[in-house]
Amino acid sequence: MAKKPAPSPATDHALRDHQPGERQIKPTDSRGNGDELHQGVGTEGADAAAYLTDNFGHRISDNQNSLRAGTRGPTLLEDFVLREKIFHFDHERIPERIVHARGSGAHGVFECTKAIPGLTKASILQKEGATCPVFVRFSTVAGGAGSVDTPRDVRGFAVKLYTESGNWDLVGNNIPVFFIQDAMKFPDLVHSVKMEADRGYPQAASAHDTFWDFIGLMPEAMHMIMWAMSDRTIPRSLRMIEGFGVHTFRFVNEKGEGKFVKFHWKPVLGIQSTTWDEAVKIAGADPDFHRRDLFEAIDAGDFPAWDLGVQLFDEAFAEKQPYDVLDATKLIPEEDIPVEIVGRMTLNRNVDNFFAETEQVAFLPSNIIPGIDFSNDPLLQGRLFSYLDTQKSRLGTTNFHQIPINAPKCPFHNFQRDGMMQTLVPTGRANYEPNSLAEAGENGGPRASAETGFATFTANDERNDPAQKLRIRAELFADHFSQARLFYLSQTENEQAHIASALVFELSKVTLDHVRARVVGQLRNIDEDLATRVAMGLAIDLPAKEKAARAPVDLKPSDALSIQKNADDTMEGRKVAILFAEGSDKAAIDKLKSDIESAGGTAFLVAPKVGGIKVKGGTLKADGQLAGSPSVLFDAVASILTDEQAKALSGQGAAVQWFMDAYGHCKTIAHDEATQLLLDKAGVEKDGGVVAIDKFESVGTRRHWAREARVRDLA
Active site residues per annotation: 100, 173
Residue of 633, 516, 647, 518 whose CA lies nearest to 581: 647
* Residue spans of alpha helices (H) in 359-425: 378-395
Contact (CB, 8 A) for 216 and 503: no
Rg (the chain; Cα; Å): 29
Contacts of 533 (CB under 8 A, 6+ apart): 497, 500, 504, 715
Taking the CB of residue 673, how many other CB atoms lie within 10 A of it?
Answer: 11
- How far is it, in rounded angstroms, from Cα 477 to Cα 159? 28
Nearest-CA neighbor of 410 among 128, 124, 170? 124
Under 8 Å CB-to-CB from 446, ≥6 apart: which residues? 413, 414, 415, 433
Phi, psi of 690 (to 5 degrees): -110, 105
211 vs 515: CA distance, rounded Å: 10
Type of residue at 87: F
Phi-psi region of 280 (alpha: psi -120 to 50; beta: other; left: phi over 0): alpha
Name the pairing type of β-strands 258-267 and 243-244: antiparallel
The contacts of residue 375 (CB under 8 Å, 6+ apart) are 247, 248, 249, 250, 260, 325, 326, 462
Q: How far from chain centre, in Å, is Cα 412?
A: 29
Q: How far apart are CA 126 and CA 134, in angstroms?
A: 17
d(CA 328, CA 480): 11
Is residue 266 helix, strand or coil? strand
Asked if residue 434 has a cis previous peptide bond (ω within 30° of 0), the answer is: yes
